[in-house]
A and B are shown apart, each in its own frame.
Chain A
Amino acid sequence: MASYLFRRLLLTIPVLLGVATLVFSLIHLVPGDPVQAMLGDSASPQDVADLRGRLGLNRPLLTQYGSFLKDVARGDLGTSLRTNQPVTSAILERLPATFELGLAAMVLAVFFAIPMGILAAVKAGTRVDYAATTVSLLGISIPNFWLGPLLAILFSVTLGWLPVSGSGTLAHLVLPAITLGAPLSALLARMTRASVIEELREPYVLAARARGVSQIRAVLRHAFRNSLIPIVTVLGLQIGAVLTGAIITETIFAWPGVGRLLIQSINFRDYPLVQGCVLLIAITYVTMNLLTDLVYGLLDPRIRYE
């Protein structure tokens, strides 16, 4: 197990380095002069030169890359061009809101998906199953940038039950959490259905039923418990989708998280902040994938790194 952990951790290093390199490259992909693009056409040559010096863009590329990596390792992501605030603290201010939204979305997704997936598996091939499968396919097909406005039209504009945007109360959290959680819920329901169906065919479940164990107990105590490993894995791997979904959801509902900060910084061409937000989301994604793999390895002793 120790060697599995070590090798898995070791494999993460080139991935993190690659992520940092991609983020570093972003500013150099800007067509023309990135500093001119940030300041606009009306900026004076002196301002352009000053900012180029401040960002270190007048140094050789390799030197820039080296100091970028060193700064990232120290947690220094530069300074926002618009607010002059350190990028790290700007992101840290917004991070709790994104985590709150992501967590609420995942809790909602699990709450709806698992009963629906189990029901569809137990009733496989019936109308209940077809209805659950269609609902989950709809959940995957309806993009969150449409679901969010639709929910706002229904629950905020027409019924007046919930606020259309903003944050601060539980009521503000409901629509963004449903918008972000719906596709995850749909995917989890499909996964739960497939896993439980597979487990229900296993001899140990049939043996339990033959011993007189009730169907509900056989499903919940036996089949579902063994289906949990792939379900937990999908949940872990979907954290990345939740993080990127948060970019859109936060923009729709004016939720003050990192996703909205990213879009605002793109609109203001605040590239240090763009780089910081992208790096943070990508590193969170890589870390969650790593943790999912490690938990998977712990849960199922058959899984070992080859």
Chain B
Amino acid sequence: MLTVGSTIVGAAALAAIVGPWLAPFDPSAQELPLRLAGPMRGHPFGLDELGRDILARVLTGARISFAVGLTVVSVSASVGTLVGAVAGYLGGAIDDVLSRVIDILMAFPGLLLAIALVAALGPSLANVLLALTAIGWVGYARLVRGQVLRAREFEYVQAARALGAGTSRVLWRHVVPTALPAVVVQATLGMAAAIIGEAALSFLGLGVQPPTPSWGSMLNGGRAHLLDAPHLTIVPGLAIALLVLGLNFVGDGLRDLTDPKQR
């Protein structure tokens, strides 16, 4: 599972890095006479409603998806780990306040909060990143808080404290590292969720705006052409599904590796 997933994700990452240079067409270049044409020689995935090469746009869209996934996951995981570690380790009033904030944000369905934020802030890639990060960090915070609550009672942690190690050193050198395997699994699955989140917002017209190619906005463009040009829908959707499936395979595989009970 891990091998299959890593292969899919690796291939998609390679396509995102080198694909746009190798693609024979510019993703914005138009061939209006060929608009909505299906797969053909020179355009293996066909052309869209403005006569743009879908292969070139899918490859450029992969960059957006990876950029969104990596940005959202790295910021969310960092903020969530910091908040969860502080809440879990310090406890008391700080934990109460942070836990209530986490409860309130968890009470909101994630996509709904992202839609609401983008509706207020306006549709753009930057606001999509902000909205997805605003909902993303909460899961990491809850996860890390739970792990830290458990780890702070371990004997080696108490020994470090007894030897005079300060709060910061105990927390970051001894406690937080025990939570990292779980964070890595969550980050892999979180990257899939962020990619789907961006695509969903762009599909609804609230995310990446034209002419920038994003898989979600390409799907949105294809909605008006289900009857006459289904390839506009099939190709970008397949790209999203494959990448997300690969990331889910990697996440599941890593979880099996790190948690023997899951095997």
Give chain B's interface residues, CB within 8 Å of chain A.
100-101, 103-105, 107-113, 115-117, 119-122, 192, 196, 199-200, 203-206, 216, 219, 222-223, 226-227, 230, 233-234, 237-238, 240-241, 244-245, 248-249, 252
Contacts and interface: CB of A to CB of B under 8 A. Distances in A.
Contact of A22 (B108, B110, B111, B199): B108
Nearest to B232: A149
Contacts of A137: 245, 248-249, 252
Chief secondary structure at chain B's binding surface = helix
A21 to B, nearest CB: 8
Contact of B100 (A18, A150, A263): A18
Contacts of B216: 145
B109 A281 contact: yes
A152 B245 contact: no
A286 B112 contact: no
Given A150-B234, A271-B120, 5 more contacts: A14-B100, A18-B100, A157-B226, A243-B109, A282-B108
Interface stretch (A23-31, A40-48, A225-233): A23-31
Chief secondary structure at chain A's binding surface = helix
Contacts of B244: 141, 143
The CB with the most chain B CB atoms within 10 A, among A143, A164, A263, A271, is that of A143
A68 to B, nearest CB: 15
30 contacts: A11-B103, A14-B103, A15-B103, A15-B107, A18-B104, A22-B113, A26-B119, A30-B120, A137-B248, A141-B192, A143-B240, A146-B240, A149-B223, A150-B233, A153-B234, A240-B109, A241-B109, A243-B109, A243-B112, A244-B110, A247-B111, A247-B115, A251-B204, A252-B223, A262-B115, A266-B115, A271-B120, A282-B107, A285-B108, A286-B107
Contacts of B108: 19, 22, 282, 285
B200 A143 contact: yes
A131 interface: no
Contact of B222 (A19, A149, A274): A149
B226 A15 contact: no
A191 to B, nearest CB: 13
Interface residues of A, number: 47
B215 to A, nearest CB: 9
Contacts of B113: 22
B112 A140 contact: no
A141 B241 contact: yes
A30 B233 contact: no
Contact of A247 (B112, B192, B238): B112
A22 to B, nearest CB: 7
